[in-house]
Amino acid sequence: MFLTDSNGGHIFVGGDVCVSGHDSGPVFEEQPSSLIYPEGMPEGKVTLSCQARAIPATIYRWRVNGTEIAFAEDSQYTQVAGNLVINNPQNGRDGGSYQCLAINRCGTIVSRVANLKFGYLHDFPPESRSPQTVHEGTGTFLACQPPAHYPALSYRWFINEFPNFIQPEAGRWFVSQVTGNLYLANAKANDTGNYFCFTTINMDISTKSIFSKAVHPNIRVRFPAETYALTGQTAQLECFAYGNPIPKIHWRKVGGILPPKVGASAEGPILIIPELNFDDEGMYECEVYNSEGRETHQGRISVQAQPEWLQVMSDSEVEISSELQWSCAAAGKPRPTIHWLLNNGRLRISNLALEDSGMYQCVAENKHGTIYSNAELRVQVQAPDFRLNPVRRLVPAARGGQVKMECKPRAAPKPTLFWSRGTELLTNSTRITVTPDGVLWIYNISRSDEGKYTCFAENYLGKANSTGHLSVRDATKITLAPSNADINQGENASLQCHASHDPTMDLTFTWSLNGVPLDLEEPNGHYRQTIGDLVIVNGQLSHAGTYTCTAQTVVDSAVASAKLVVRGPPGPPGGLVVTNVDDTSVELRWSHGYDNHSPIGKYVILGRSSQTHDWKRMRTGEVMLHFGNAESARVIDLRPWMDYEFQVIASNILGSGEPSMASQSVRTKQAAPTVAPSGLGGGGGNRNELIITWTPMAREYQNGDGFGYILAFRKQGMPTWTVVRVPHVESSRYVYSNESLSAYCPFEVRIKAYNKKGEGPFSQIAVVHSAEEELMVVWLTILGHSVLLFQIRYWRQHEREAAADRVRTAGLENTARVTGLRPNTLYHVTILAYNSAGTGPPSPRTTVITKKPPPSRPPGNISWKVDGSWVTVRWDHVKSMDNESTVLGYKVSDTLCHPTLRLSLKMCVCVGLTIPICMSPEYLLRFSHLSQRYHIFSYL
């Protein structure tokens, strides 16, 4: 038989000499692959592989561009085994499509097509390129202009001399692997130099590289609007922009999510998508941005695929004169076309003859490739023969049961089959059935059915028969069946099973639960078996169900079943949802779970907030929860503006069950704060400062967003509070500065929290002192010793020196500032020196009294008179109290601090003008602008 191929040629596919059961047609083990050969390589050769297994051995032939190759002594072609060797390949002569044919007397198959192409890379033109100038901070590009080549190149650039290759520098440089061009986002002065484009071509056999002539350093790189790629390959999209600052690049998939496999390339100039699949198809966007703006560019990746078999043909042995139908199906994009070298999609041969035997091929192809499926057809002709598959010699059967006897001789064409017992021909009756395919069924068997049974087979080539003996045995019966049982979880249960059977056969017992066989050999399992009896140890809820005992011999079996009920704690409630959410309460609804044969007595609600990990029992106040029919509850005493999850647990007299699945997390509504911040205190700091501190409120007490703190403070004994807002939840201190603040002055302080819903209560009043006095200590350095550091010790009168506070300073210093002292207080001070030999003796003790605090009362009755460009300011004297320092003078400060005033009086905003006391209580000021207001302060 011959098939016509796609080129109009003929392929021999069979003959009458292929020996059935012995010979086999060719099957490829190795097929030729496409390759690229470097142009101009001296004394080279190309080998295209082709190997197939077959009985008898395969004969090989080769085609190039559809024409069979003739092997001659002076030909460049040589065949080694099945491989084709091309000596000294040359472009224009040897390039093309090659196919291998594997042939034996059972048929012929054709290999896939292998393309031989020639790779080349010519030199860059010898002409020098013109220098290129660019302004610093602007973008530019250098064109590679690669020479003629095949296949694709890879590109790199180097500067001045090889191999000083340009490296990516924070996105400033980019080399396009599409055009080879070098792009620079913004130029710097040190970028001046000679630049070389370095091109490399990679082939299966060799690699070649060349580089361009020198080029001295406003087009953006954009990927195509449509990119086509094959599944399993890697897609690369390029995007690069000029800009100063250097633009950043971000990729995204429009209407989807970038696959994780793109990795770090999602933030670079080349988006790399490896191992493409159809899920990767879609629109991709590149966004470039810096502080000056942003721009986007979009393009689509269309994923296509080479043909791939979904259904292939398989070797078939069929009877002569019968019908054969072979089907092939393939996937691919575009959709592949399928043909049999002759017709399309499905091969159907009717009234098969011997000469139809042979090798057949199904071909699927699209523009991306071609695939082949091979199968061998054997048309058989044979007289009936039972030698390989006789009737079973001894067929045991049980009384009252049924038996099946098969008749399967080898024969072609299909034989006629019939059965006999002795000389009696068996026909269909109430107890006997003979099927068209030769199966004999006998039902309700008795002792009288014992004997020899013969199957006869006949076709036009001959006759044959085969005989078997039917032996009738006693039936197997259950004599003690298992009984239903009822246990509590953790208890044991025993199920009995005894049976009678034919004594000439072995009897085995097996057990199943709800139709699934039990593994009775499992170590530390719950099941124990003694002959036919089964014991369930430490029964659990999962052990409840129907247990079936099967007593079985080789001819029949008997079964008996019993139900086991296991009572236990309830199963988890289902369908838990949260509704009617308020600021301190929510409503839960659920459905009943399994009661596990013991009525549910009550439910317990568990919950946890986003600030905790442990579940705890929640308050509900619902009496109905103590009844098993409850399906809802209102949870109370929750925190406002807090995320919660809930679970429900059912219980009965046997215990508590598993909790329900956790509800969805819900957030309670916002409310004004209900508690005041804790840890209110303060003190210390620099002179003229009042420092107030507190503990930031935990998340669970904030009750809403827009959270902050309100501070109120006043001098002890004063009627008016100063109120300030601190708007940040993480704040923990506030510093109030005022030059009139006395040292260590007591203040009453209180604090409360606020959010968008309102304010909370004030805390208890705390007393905080303003900053204490400071002391400057000066001493003479020690000559002739390597002093590493000094330590200043100071303590108040009536305190012990051992309890003294300490300040350390470096050995090169001879002054130190001591802060945090109390005003109008006597202190003792001494100094010690340290070096590598140890601690020196303390200096003689010095006594110092800190200053009294400044006057606490402001000047009164401030007035001024304007006369032309002159202003006369008047005020009342301030008399200091006994515990305050004497008034030495006053400060005058204006609220606007006009520039002319700053120049004439050399003072800055909010600093003011110091006035000696001898000039008070009147002072004359001259201004070019008279819209100021004045504040007068007494000072030390």
H or E segment and range at residue 864: strand 863-867
- Specify the higher pLDDT residue, 934 or 243: 243
In this prediction, residue 900 has a pLDDT band, given cuts at 50, 70 and 90, of very low
* pLDDT of amino acid 774: 67
pLDDT digits (tens, 9 = 90+) for 546-591: 999 999 999 999 999 999 999 999 999 999 999 999 999 999 999 9
What pLDDT sits at residue 153?
85
CA distance 375 to 340: 12
690-704 pLDDT tens trace = 999 999 999 999 999
Who's near 685: CB < 8 A, 6+ residues apart?
A: 691, 735, 770, 771
Q: Which residue spans within 515-625 are E strands per DSSP? A: 516-517, 527-530, 533-536, 545-552, 557-567, 574-579, 586-591, 602-609, 616-617
Cβ proximity of 382 and 333 under 8 Å: no
CB 40 within 8 A of CB 91: no
Cα–Cα nearest to 744, from 809, 682, 823: 823
∠ Cα 835 836 839 (to 5°)? 50
Mean pLDDT over 232-245 rounds to 87
| pLDDT-derived band at 902, boundaries 50, 70, 90 | very low
**pLDDT of 896:** 38
Alpha carbon distance 427, 441 (integer Å): 11
- Could you write out the three-class secondary structure of 310-335? EECCCCEEEECCCCEEEECEEEEECC
Question: Tens digit of pLDDT for each residue in 423-445?
Answer: 899 999 999 999 989 999 999 99
pLDDT of residue 906: 28
Name the H helices within 749-882.
none
Burial classification of residue 886, based on how many CB atoms lie within 10 Å of its CB (0-12 exposed, 13-18 middle, 19 or more buried): exposed
Compute the mean pLDDT over every residue in the chain, rounded to the nearest whole number: 84
* Confidence band for 408, pLDDT divided at 50, 70 and 90: very high
Strand pairing report for 358-366 and 329-333 = unpaired
Per-residue pLDDT for 775 more than 80?
no
pLDDT band at 882 (very low <50, low <70, confident <90, very high): low
